[in-house]
Amino acid sequence: MLFKDYFPTPATLLLLGIPLSAAPTAPVPSRLALEGAYQGWRSALTQKDLRSWQYYTADYRRIQIRNTIVSQKQPFPQAVLERPVLAPALTGLRFLGIRTGDRTASASYFGPVDFGLPPGDEIPDNLLILHFVHEEARWRFDRAQYLNLEARPEIRREIEQGGLGILEEPSLQPQVQPPPLPPLCRAPEYIAKVFAEVPGLRAEVDFGGSEVYLFEDERRADLIIGGLQRGVNKISYRLGPLEKTEENAPLPNKEGFEISVWIMPEREGQIPVRVFQEKILPGETPLKKRSALLSITAQNLAGRNPAK
């Protein structure tokens, strides 16, 4: 999911304890500073210390986590500490180095990354990359990337022999700058997801807010931040090729595609119900852009409660 540029109001920033002053240039990060931020964040989760979690977590990530929790009708911030802790220790991992951007940095590790497997289970060597943002005169943890190298044994051998070419891949680099802060989403009336199946295509879907949901040559569902409301909701999508082509070139459509929206269950016994679908069969010419209205009514909501 992508976020459009957004400049939060002072009230939004103060609500989350985010300072209003411009961020100064970040110092060159040390291994000690980055690992200290990660260990502080990890300890906050394992010890269920909400204040420490807020201290060590980057602003963007805190807002994103808050929006995700609220969009599932769960209590924030209490639900932060109720989620499973997926924070491997760095003990036993080989430190590969640090890469930097503008107020961003990443630290890379190789070895048996342990996400809590039962004792005695063999853990193969894989790649872990931790990302950080410099805020409020300190480094704060943002997110982690984990690469399972089982299907890429040549990369595993290369790292074992001292080669670090894999770390030059753009998707593994720290962002040049921290992303703009997203707005605080509304509490949803209905929990909803957008589903896309777009083989050979790139699709961007939005619902008139600040979030854009990106799908590339895949079949996946995303939680809609802010959910949907009863009545009329707007949906727009844009389709394009995976690689740049001439502006007027037709879109490839050998396998067809689908974009649909679902209202999700909130009580035991309910099932998801589809409230919008755009489906194009293989060989048909899809529109590159489309906007539509989808309605949430008592009639289509009744489908969440199947007859027993």
- CA nearest 292: which of 221, 188, 207? 207
113 alpha-carbon distance from chain centroid: 21
Give the chain's radius of gyration (CA, Å): 22
231 Ramachandran zone, left/alpha/beta (phi>0; psi -120 to 50): left
In the sheet that holds 211-216, the strands lie side by side as 2-3, 211-216, 201-206, 231-241, 289-296
Distance, in Å, from the CA atom of 152 to the CA atom of 303, rounded to the nearest integer, reads 44
Using one digit for the tens of pLDDT, what is the confidence trace for 60-76? 999 999 999 999 999 99
First vs last Cα of the chain: how many Å apart? 37
Q: How many residues does the chain have?
A: 308
- CA nearest 144: which of 219, 89, 101? 89
- Cα-Cα-Cα-Cα torsion 42, 43, 46, 48, nearest 10 degrees, comes to -110
- In this prediction, the residues of the chain whose per-residue pLDDT falls under 70 are 1-24, 120, 245-247, 307-308
Q: Does residue 194 contact residue 213 with C-beta atoms inside 8 Å?
A: yes
- CA nearest 103: which of 154, 58, 161, 149? 58
Task: Reduce the DSSP state of residue 176 to 3 states and report it.
Answer: coil
Distance, in Å, from the CA atom of 105 to the CA atom of 139, rounded to the nearest integer, reads 9
- CA nearest 206: which of 228, 177, 178, 230? 228
195 alpha-carbon distance from chain centroid: 15
Q: Which tokens go with 149? A: 């190298």
Distance, in Å, from the CA atom of 19 to the CA atom of 223, rounded to the nearest integer, reads 29
Distance, in Å, from the CA atom of 222 to the CA atom of 78, rounded to the nearest integer, reads 23
Distance, in Å, from the CA atom of 289 to the CA atom of 263, rounded to the nearest integer, reads 24
299 alpha-carbon distance from chain centroid: 33
In this predicted structure, what is the pLDDT of residue 308?
A: 53
b (16+ CB within 10 A) / e for 277-298:
ebebeeeeebeeeeeeebebee
In this predicted structure, what is the pLDDT of residue 185?
A: 93
Q: Give the H or E element holding residue 63.
A: helix 59-71
Mean pLDDT over the full length of the chain: 88
In this predicted structure, what is the pLDDT of residue 246?
A: 66
Q: Does residue 232 contact residue 260 with C-beta atoms inside 8 Å?
A: no
Q: Does residue 14 contact residue 20 with C-beta atoms inside 8 Å?
A: yes
In this predicted structure, what is the pLDDT of residue 304?
A: 85
Residue 90 phi, psi dihedral angles, 5° rounding:
-90, -5
Distance, in Å, from the CA atom of 296 to the CA atom of 263, rounded to the nearest integer, reads 9
The half-sphere exposure of 142 on its side-chain side, counting CA atoms within 13 A, is: 23
